[in-house]
Chains A and B, each alone.
Chain A
Amino acid sequence: MTEDTKKSAFQFHGNWVDFFKIAIVNLLLSIITLGIYRFWATTREREYLWSETEFIDERIEWTGTGMELFIGAIMVSILLVLPISILSFVVQGAMIQDNPKLAITIIIGLSLLIYYLIGVAYFRALRYRLGRTYWRGIRGGSDEPGFKYGLSYIWKNVLGVIPIYLLVPWAMISLWNERWNHMSFGAHKFHSNADWQDLMKRYMLFYLLPFLGVLAGIYIDISSAASGEISTGESTALGAIGLLLILFYIALPLIALMFYSKYFRVAVRGLRLHKLEFDFKARSKDWILLFIGNIALVVFTLGLGYIMLPYRNWKFFVTHMEAYGEVNLDELTQSETTRSKHGEGLLDAFDVGAI
């Protein structure tokens, strides 16, 4: 089957009213179950969003269950949160007893462990989601458990930061490639070879902005000093503060979004699955509109709009995704990967959302 029509390979058919009906019941049920229902809530929302998402000519299907998410969360709670809280007592004890070496050793060790587990969590969440996503009866997955990826997550991020943060784009793209190169859909492996250098121009913009801001501040200072108007000293200071506020609350987030937009486009474009290639069509403007829309939605509904964010984000993702090439249905055979029996509790525990 070739796909050469103008129609995008990814179509979204959902509407916000249907999603809202699901989300509002989810919210109420989550409240009266002290949050426990939220695993089933997530599942219902995904079932809806997936089922309204069409790839080529067939809708995809979410088969994850609330129970497995719940079990995942319980496991993380017992295996991770309990030991950490016990260790935090030990740290307090060590501080009381004037043993800063022990306290600091535990804190550093624990931080490293948590950082490692965040990496593992990212990997396992992607693997879980692919493993629960079916298209024409075929699912994705990975045979890697993600423990090696956790190590990469540490050393690549550290290496990215060492040269005064200049290699952060390399770390991001390299980790993306590593993650996806271990994933597969059906019998086909994903191949990812996104190039981090495509990102550098955009990154330098983000990187240099604070310096430019400081330079501008100094310029204002000097020019007002040169003009000799001592009485305006106060208003100049206010001006500098205003400039800083604009810099940090408007300019920086905007440029961060512009960078992320480029990152995601470069990353998705680097992805291949057998004879399929992918693209992500959203430009910086689209990302900025999405975020402004999200913020407005939450603010103007006094927070309730929060429950609609999964819908907006998913719709944004699907409508901008694009695929080219062909899928041979006879060749697309079932995945042989093993699947973990529990959900993304680890990711959940660290509160790191998107893929």
Chain B
Amino acid sequence: MANEVVDPFFSVSHFDGKTAVRRKVEIQTIGKNFFLLENERRHGPFAFEYMHFVSQTKGNISYGYEDIDGWRLTLSGPIPEDLKPLLPATRTYGSLIDKLGLGKASVAFIAASAAALAVIITAPQWLAPIIPQSIENNLGDALVGDFGGRICSTPEGKAALSKLTNSLDANPDDLQVEVVNIDMLNAVALPGGKVFLFNGLIQQAESVDEVAGVLGHEIGHVRERHVMQGLLRQLGLSLILGGLNENVGGVFSSALSNSYGRDAEREADSHSIEVLNEANISPIATKGFFNKLSEMTNEENGISSVTSYMLSHPLSSERAAKFDASFDKERDYRPALTKDEWAAITSMCANDKDVKSGFGFDFGEE
């Protein structure tokens, strides 16, 4: 039956890609090649294998031809059975999905997306330790330098500070611990093992033990390579957000608002508790510091956006409680430094005549 039906609705039109003239043609198939027969002209030969699918609308299928720009062969109506196997496959969603089928492809995409997310989220953690310390040090020097001349320095203060550092870390040589002349209750760990204690924190500390706990926490960030992780996370996020999503403006904001995960804070706290314990310094004062800090941040939520890419410290009573829990009533703790040494640190910024003060720009004056 199929043999005797010559479909009346099947028609072929052709654009040669050279002019906009439409040609009504017939396909003359010779093996894997074909000619297009117009009234008095014959176009070709063409090979089926060089044809590719272009579009499909309402019973019309259009094909293009490899190197001929704009060459089109448009078939309307039911395609004859003998022609079907010679024509290239059509495309709907994209070649990959068409090949797999929408259902299978969806499952594959979900799996791949989950895997990709896992890699993206964890990448900073396993990439950071691979990056050589020397690169991080150079980065730290380039980014931070001398903190705009705000590092406080007196011989006695320096000596006391390094004594404190030595008691809290086994390899203090790759650390640079400084007091900076900024009146804020904060401390930061920066690339290259730089730990800066803000003078506001020193002045408001009730004892040197309190500063020791904070310093232990920042050293924890350095030792766990949290700083590098944070930088990598920023870069990765900006790539993903900026590359696959819309605005570049978002890159700036995401770069400026990097917040460390709770995990990093927990690790740093654990490190602090550990080193305080080894140095036989009481952790109870650090708890007091956390309370003070949480009162302050409740009042004003304003650590300036410039500093926010350094480590910021989300607070919780849980953290204070951890320090509290590690306190042993029976134990005979020693003070982290002598009174004179502590005095040398608290007076360091006041006694340093060269140090610059404040935070932000001083336009015009040097």
Contacts and interface: CB of A to CB of B under 8 A. Distances in A.
Interface of A: 25, 28-29, 32-37, 40, 43-44, 47, 51-52, 58-59, 61-63, 66, 73-74, 76-78, 80-82, 84-86, 88-90, 92-93, 95-100, 114, 134-139, 186, 327, 329-335, 348-351
B263 interface: no
Contact of B242 (A28, A84, A139, A333): A84
A85 B234 contact: yes
Contact of A32 (B62, B94, B113, B255): B113
A144 to B, nearest CB: 19
Contact of A81 (B97, B109, B239, B361): B239
Q: What band does the interface of chain B fall in when counting residues whose beta carbon is under 8 Å from A?
A: 35 or more
A66 B142 CA distance: 41
Interface of B: 15-22, 54-55, 57, 62, 64, 69-72, 92-94, 97, 102, 106, 109-110, 112-113, 116-117, 142-150, 231, 234-235, 238-239, 242-248, 251-252, 255-256, 306, 309, 356, 361-363
A186 B20 contact: yes
18 contacts: A25-B93, A29-B93, A29-B97, A33-B109, A34-B117, A44-B93, A59-B57, A84-B238, A84-B242, A84-B248, A89-B231, A90-B142, A92-B256, A93-B142, A98-B361, A100-B361, A348-B246, A351-B247
B259 to A, nearest CB: 15
Nearest to B362: A98
A321 B195 CA distance: 65
Given A97-B147, A98-B362, A350 B247 contact: yes
Contacts of A35: 244-245
A114 B251 CA distance: 13
Contacts of B306: 92, 95-96
Nearest to A80: B248
Contacts of B255: 85, 88-89, 92
Given A77-B243, A98-B361, A136-B22, 6 more contacts: A85-B239, A96-B143, A137-B17, A330-B20, A331-B19, A351-B246
Given A29-B109, A136-B15, A81 B20 contact: no
A100 B22 CA distance: 65
Nearest to B17: A137
Contacts, number: 170
Query: Residue among B18, B72, B252, B363 with the most chain A CB within 10 A?
Result: B252
A47 B15 contact: no
A128 to B, nearest CB: 15
A348 B22 CA distance: 36
A62 B64 CA distance: 13
Contacts of B144: 93, 96-97
Contacts of A138: 15, 17, 19-20, 70
B94 to A, nearest CB: 4
B106 A81 contact: no
A311 to B, nearest CB: 16
Residue from the set B57, B149, B247, B362 with the largest chain A CB neighbour count within 10 Å: B57
A80 B238 CA distance: 11
Contacts of A99: 148
Contacts of B16: 137
A114 B21 contact: no
Given A81-B251, A89-B143, A93-B143, A332 B20 contact: yes
B362 A81 contact: no
Nearest to A63: B54
B19 A36 contact: no
Contacts of A332: 19-20
* Chain A to chain B: the 3 pairs with minimum beta-carbon distance, closest first: A77-B243, A137-B15, A98-B148
A325 to B, nearest CB: 15
Contacts of A98: 148-150, 356, 361-362
